[in-house]
Chain A
């Protein structure tokens, strides 16, 4: 892969670019979908492609393609250079200037500081056969059905994995490559109540199938679905909330997006102008950690070859810094935090969180409920992509969950909304749970449940 990337850089320079960077990825994917005790579909795929950034002075362009022949790479380089000619000049555009030299596989060196070696691949992705991963999906489905007699079926039980090799090369001496594997499984369980169906999601993720527990996945789906049977609409009011880890993660993902320097510099973030200020309750701490050994998004370097690291974002309630790639760092007079995100070779890099980590607190879940007193436990939110204004942070999203009465979980609730704004919500965090969980919603987030002092609930 690294050889192809080198050729692409050379082709782009030959097409007239003053600087070039190529990002290549090669990936093998598998997916099993099971239903009714049978395999519904089995997918095997290979993907191989390359994306090239070209700079002509301070004009930047991008092109990607799947034709890796000599002719294909020459065309690719020419298209990237052509795109750069159309763009306007931008004084902050350019390749990363760090004296970065990335070496083979997991290790990288920056200014002679060795990077920690990350183990990002699990052998079980390669060694588990198709029959074994199919068995895992079927086992998750079976566990959901067996967990509770009220589970009427499983809409879908899915297992998927991926093994990828990523290489990056630039005309400024960046050259590195690493491998990573990942997998996930989930079930969507259906429970039958007197007045309709309820769905419940159970999931887990890891670096390989050996790390997943299909029985726990199935049970979680069953528990979530059956817990919703007989759900009613709550009365509209303002009250304390406990956010389940999956829900907290979705909101933390939105916070991470708002802390990206790109959004801030362009006046599209509720956190603009707030560095050094108080943006959260004192007990809330959030970091971005691209090196977390358990983090699904961990990697030795980011989407433009800058080494990943841990960055404290919010600590003691105060906002410390934003997340930067090399463009926003140059523009903001800061250093890159290694947060050039990349959605594969088809996307050019842009600032994005890696793994967002909420520091666990000391409250057990029961203690969070009891501190809430009379409130609502939120187990699911819907419409986050439409119900949130990313500029102002104002949101109103659909939700379901359970009533909390005198510190105990009571009747299930559905068809209501919770509304507020992100900063006010962080400021009213009154207690952080002690059991964090990796959640793939809203990016890659590790968070425990959160107790929120008060928020508007709109029902009947």
Chain B
């Protein structure tokens, strides 16, 4: 890999960025290469490769951030971006500190996806197609996709930081459609990591079987219940619930704007003592892991809730400076075209002591939510909503039948406090999180978790 940006060039760009004032300047350079392909109707299609490079330069002055980005990494491109960013400033020029290189230590990648022949990736998709279709004669459609991306990043700032990272991610996703007469149901499953192609060394075909099984199960589904009831949330993907209802409210930008229900609650009991949760950007080879965040801060493991007590927010550099604390390595951005904002990495509820079966056995009538299509939260009010893609009715302490079209809805402060059991099982799944128009890869995890009472929005009143 050639260097994205020479230290001399970085220094020149930073000097240019501070030429008209400002307290802080940064240049972030990136080279993105990637490939995606899909199989649909048992045919390899949508084969696509991309290569782009560019840089973003920002200057902060008082409460204002000035940002410019350009496609291309020629020194002239970078200086143009610096001049644009500084264009609206009217102050005295500043001097950046001398750069000290602190290279990041990238996640271990054994087999670079780009070095693997495209035919092997196509063969992987064909295997997913066969395994998924083989799961049952009622599987009518199967769509599987493969994606690889390599992001080389370098960041330098006027405080003298110069760091870099080299990130390879691979992911497969399967969507299966099952049909019985007029009834049509879908099931989805993914597998991904901050890893090389070795992620698929085991038995990736289970991803397709799992998606197919979900779709087939739903063929027998009845309407979802509507109303308030206990809800047991499954492990792995279930972590998206914590991600949405609590994680976003812990991001320091929301907090500082007073647009988080957790503002002012540091040190307070926000959950039962049985709950402890972390954000950990260092977990080896997990989807949300990186060596450094997109401002050059090393990633770390941050306890956000310890035994029910709120212990930390998630910070990028700007919000950390405002609160007079150290950044937590959560300054992330989708690409050089975006400003970094506080974002989660891998966020999870730590394993507890309850057995999942026992948790369900204690519920007279409730809902078992296993997979979510995603969710949304308004951090200011704490109101959230989740679409349940795989859910079951619990009756008399037993899981009785699958339900279609259910949604969980509630308020995060109440729902988090209402968690009355945390399972001893544990799993982390991959997600793509959207915030402020930027998408970043995140890990969400937990074991089974039970919420004492929550609104289930179905059609069966």
Contact = CB atoms under 8 A, between A and B. Distances in A.
Nearest to A156: B257
A52 to B, nearest CB: 10
B160 interface: no
Interface stretch (A33-41, A175-183, A277-285, A432-440): A33-41
Given A153-B258, A190-B259, A398-B376, 9 more contacts: A44-B67, A46-B69, A348-B48, A386-B374, A386-B387, A389-B186, A398-B383, A414-B381, A458-B226
Interface string A387-406: 11101101111101000000
B49 interface: yes
B334 to A, nearest CB: 12
Contacts of B386: 383, 386-387
A456 B64 CA distance: 47
Contacts of A211: none
B52 A87 contact: no
B68 A45 contact: yes
Nearest to A62: B48
A60 interface: yes
A86 B88 contact: no
Nearest to A419: B459
Q: Range of interface residues on chain A?
A: 35 or more
Contacts of A223: none
Interface centre among A45, A76, A198, A383 (most CB of B within 10 A): A383
Interface in A161-207: 190, 196-199
B40 interface: yes
Nearest to A199: B380
A394 B403 CA distance: 12
B154 interface: no
Interface stretch (A77-85, A244-252, A292-300, A334-342): A77-85
Residue of B52, B68, B385, B457 with most chain A CB atoms under a 10 A cut-off: B457
A42 interface: yes
B185 interface: yes
Contacts of A49: 52, 71
A63 interface: yes
B228 A79 contact: no
Interface in B26-65: 37, 40-41, 43-54, 62-65
23 contacts: A36-B63, A38-B63, A41-B67, A43-B339, A60-B47, A61-B47, A64-B49, A64-B50, A66-B52, A67-B72, A79-B51, A83-B47, A87-B44, A190-B258, A196-B381, A267-B140, A382-B385, A387-B373, A388-B387, A395-B405, A398-B457, A415-B455, A419-B405
B13 interface: no
B433 to A, nearest CB: 12
B216 interface: no
Nearest to B64: A39
Interface in B191-245: 224, 226-228
A113 interface: no
A56 B118 CA distance: 17
Nearest to A350: B46
A268 B140 CA distance: 10
Given A153-B258, A236-B226, A460-B227, A41 B339 contact: yes
B398 interface: no
Contacts of A459: 455
Interface stretch (B284-292, B309-317, B407-415): B407-415
A397 to B, nearest CB: 7
A165 B339 CA distance: 25
A82 B456 CA distance: 49
Given A45-B69, A458-B458, A348 B46 contact: yes
Interface in A240-285: 266-268
Contacts of B37: 83, 86-87
B401 interface: no
Interface in B71-124: 71-72, 84-85, 87-88, 118-119, 121-122
Contact of A385 (B62, B87, B259, B373): B373
B461 interface: yes
Given A86-B37, A395-B405, A40 B52 contact: no
A34 B375 CA distance: 27
Given A88-B43, A398-B376, A65 B51 contact: yes
A414 B414 CA distance: 15
B222 to A, nearest CB: 13
A397 B71 contact: no
B177 interface: yes
A43 B67 contact: yes
A190 B261 CA distance: 13
A49 B456 CA distance: 46
Nearest to A72: B51
Given A62-B47, A456-B226, A47 B184 contact: no
Interface residues of B, number: 81
B46 to A, nearest CB: 7
A87 B47 contact: yes
Contact of A86 (B71, B119, B261, B376): B119
B336 to A, nearest CB: 10
Nearest to B48: A62
Given A44-B84, A416-B455, A63 B226 contact: no
B452 to A, nearest CB: 15
Contacts of A66: 51-54, 71-72
Contact of A155 (B88, B118, B380, B411): B380
Contact of A63 (B49, B259, B459): B49
Residue of B53, B337, B385 contacting most chain A CB atoms (<10 Å): B385
Contacts of A419: 226, 405, 407, 457-459
Find the residue from A130, A131, A199 having the highest chain B CB count within 10 A: A199
B378 interface: yes
B339 A415 contact: no
Nearest to B84: A44
B392 interface: no
Contacts of A44: 67-68, 84-85, 87
Most buried by B among A79, A398, A456: A398
B24 interface: no
Given A62-B46, A65-B50, A456 B404 contact: no
B372 interface: yes
Given A386-B386, A417-B409, A419-B407, A79 B49 contact: yes
B179 interface: yes
B406 interface: yes
Contacts of B51: 63-67, 75-76, 79
B172 to A, nearest CB: 16
Contacts of A348: 46, 48
Interface string A373-388: 0000000001101111
A67 B51 CA distance: 8
Interface string B240-275: 000000000000000001110100000000000000
A392 B259 contact: no
Given A44-B68, A66-B52, A268 B458 contact: no
Contacts of B378: 199, 382
A187 to B, nearest CB: 13
A453 B119 CA distance: 54
A90 interface: yes
